[in-house]
Structure 1
Amino acid sequence: MPFDPAKPSLLSTLVRHYDELVDHVRRRFGDRGFAREVVHDVCVQLLEKRDKDNVHTPLALLRKISHDQAINRYRSERRSQSWIVGMSEPLEAECTAPTPPRQYEAARELELLTQAIEQLPERCQMVFIMHKIHELPQAEVAVRMGISLKTVEKHLRLGLAACRVYLDRPPTTL
């Protein structure tokens, strides 16, 4: 593009009227630092793009470009701030640790279950512990103890019933 001294480029107009453009944005948005950043952004835009031809009033066009850039920047900053403010409170994670009253209740239940198991007849106690505590399958308990599978099931029913009695729970909860 040939240089025409009668038609100044947008970039040269921006340089000549820099303070005026900053004041124009500052009056609308209130912050001089913000206004400088906006005018610098406009300068970068002009450097990256080809100069417009036939601009009759370059200062008016620069004011319009600066104003539009300021609005875009302001909206972008508000969106960022609202997201940051919205996230300022940490997400509440559900605590999986038992509360002190629940810990006390669990310790009490464990003590009651221990007493219930200790009160079982010896063979019933062994079947119950092997299956419920050591998690051996009923068939393996029967083989190890030399008893039938039906006898293992009977001892487990008796053990569960004793535990329910000690915990004062209805028969369907265990």
Structure 2
Amino acid sequence: MSFDPAKPTLLSTLTRHYEDLVEQVRRRFGDRNLAREVVHDVCVQVLERGEKEGVRTPLALLRKISHDTALSRYRSDRRRQSWIVASSELPDVACGAAQPARQYEAGREFELLVEAIAELPPRCQMVFVMHKIHELPQTEVAARLDISLKTVEKHLRLGLAACRERLGRCEVAR
């Protein structure tokens, strides 16, 4: 690359028209600080990449680079702002875990259910555990225990009634 002193380089054009470039970006985007940052970024780009060969109008190229850089930064800032706004709508509680009082209450209910199931007659207890805990279909429970489907349904009603009674939910099981 040969240097022709009569032909302006990108860096010399940037130095000479620095304030014009800042003003152009400021008019388009309305923020002088942003405009200065953008032109500084353009300056860094020119220094890092070196001179381009065959640039006929360096000022036009610098204006285009400045505009594109400002637009990119503007879009990036808008995305960041929309994320911040969306984040401000998050709930106050970061974790959906139950509060200590609710955890205690749930633990106590669990203990009551275990007690109710433990007090069921053995066959009723097996039917209830197989269907409600192990989630076996009623027909499979009946087949495994060699009892009728009606007997399975009867044992389930008795088990549910015992659990409701233990929890203090006196709903009549039909």
- TM-score, length basis structure 1: 0.60
Helix, strand or coil at the partner of 1:47: coil
- What is the aligned counterpart of 1:83 among 63, 68, 79? 79
Partner in structure 1 of residue 20 of structure 2: 24
In 1, the alpha carbon distance for the partners of 2:90 and 2:12 equals: 55
* Deviation readout 1:115-149 (Å, 9 max, x if unpaired): 32244334323432344345554124423xxx444
In 1, the alpha carbon distance for the partners of 2:153 and 2:88 equals: 51
In 1, the alpha carbon distance for the partners of 2:65 and 2:45 equals: 8
5 Å-filtered alignment, 1:35-46, equals 35-38=39-42
Deviation at 1:78, TM superposition (A): 1.8
User: What amino acid sits opposite 1:127 in the alignment?
Assistant: V
Any unmatched runs of 5+ in structure 1? 53-60
After superposition, the CA RMSD in angstroms is 4.0
- Tell which structure's C-alpha radius of gyration is larger: 1
In 2, the alpha carbon distance for the partners of 1:115 and 1:13 equals: 88
The 8 Å contact of residues 142 and 149 in structure 2, kept in 1 or not, is answered as yes
Any unmatched runs of 5+ in structure 2? 27-31
Is structure 2 residue 166 aligned with structure 1 residue 163?
A: no
In 1, the alpha carbon distance for the partners of 2:62 and 2:108 equals: 73
The 8 Å contact of residues 10 and 59 in structure 2, kept in 1 or not, is answered as no
Aligned residues: 153
5 Å-filtered alignment, 1:15-164, equals 17-28=13-24, 29=26, 30=32, 34-38=38-42, 47-48=52-53, 50-52=54-56, 62-87=58-83, 89=87, 95-135=95-135, 137-143=140-146, 147-164=147-164
Partner in structure 2 of residue 58 of structure 1: none
